[in-house]
Amino acid sequence: MKYSLFFVLILLMACKNDQQKTGSEKSTIEIKTPLEKTTYYLIRHAEKDLTDSTNHDPNLTEEGLTHAQFWSQFFSDKSLDMIYSTQYIRTIQTVIPTLDETKLQLTFYDPDKLYSQEFLNETQGKTVLIVGHQSSIPNLANKLLGKQQYKKIPADVYDNLYIIVFESDGSKNGKIETKAYQN
């Protein structure tokens, strides 16, 4: 009987300690990275038309369309498995030539919700292209790497290529190629 009472007291104390944890401690989720080599190519959309400041979803400029063709040629030998884009005209127009080249299906994503265990599981062992925006691309690169390595892309820069690689040993590395596209 003494031991039963002692066991119940220990159990109650453990439950009380768990209840005292803050909401942020309870909701912290550890996201596990893939164990197969996975490569993420992240690019910002190409040059957009800035002539109408009230248009929040502009088309690409002629230079932007040429830039999109460059990306298609660049990725033609990368053996892409998946392509993600936001639902903005400029990101879709940036990726259309690559979709035509690869015959892959486009997956739309919400930049605030993409990084998750489900996303990592879905892309594990794959080579993935993600087209986004001046803040969402470096933010995603930082989340993938698990550290703050990249800053917001300047408004007039459209040609950076972020390459994030998860190795099968669990290590991660990232690099950025600036001026990947030169007109």
Write the pLDDT tens digit of every residue in 30-50. 677 767 999 999 999 999 999
pLDDT value of residue 28: 45
Report pTM. Answer: 0.82
Listed in sequence order, the residues at least 6 apart from 172 whose beta carbon sits closer than 8 Å to its beta carbon are 33, 144, 145, 146, 164, 165, 166
Query: What is the distance between the alpha carbons of residues 94 and 43, in angstroms, rounded to a whole number?
Result: 9
pLDDT of residue 26 exceeding 60, the answer is no
Class of residue 81 by CB neighbours under 10 A (exposed 0-12, middle 13-18, buried 19+): middle
pLDDT value of residue 141: 97
Average pLDDT over residues 63-70: 97
**Residue 24 one-letter amino acid:** S
Q: Any idea how long the chain is?
A: 183
| Range from 5-9, 13-17, 146-150 carrying the lowest mean pLDDT | 5-9
pLDDT value of residue 25: 42
pLDDT value of residue 30: 65
Query: What is the distance between the alpha carbons of residues 164 and 106, in angstroms, rounded to a whole number?
Result: 20
Cα distances (Å, whole numbers) of residue 28 to 10, 17, 37, 149: 25, 17, 26, 22
Query: What is the distance between the alpha carbons of residues 16 and 157, in angstroms, rounded to a whole number?
Result: 53
Between 19 and 140, the more confident residue is 140
pLDDT of residue 16 exceeding 60, the answer is no
Between 178 and 150, the more confident residue is 150
Class of residue 121 by CB neighbours under 10 A (exposed 0-12, middle 13-18, buried 19+): exposed
* Residue 161, number of CB atoms within 10 A of its CB: 19
| Range from 15-29, 61-75, 82-96 carrying the lowest mean pLDDT | 15-29
pLDDT tens, position by position, 94-152: 999 999 999 999 999 999 999 999 999 999 999 999 999 999 999 999 999 999 999 99
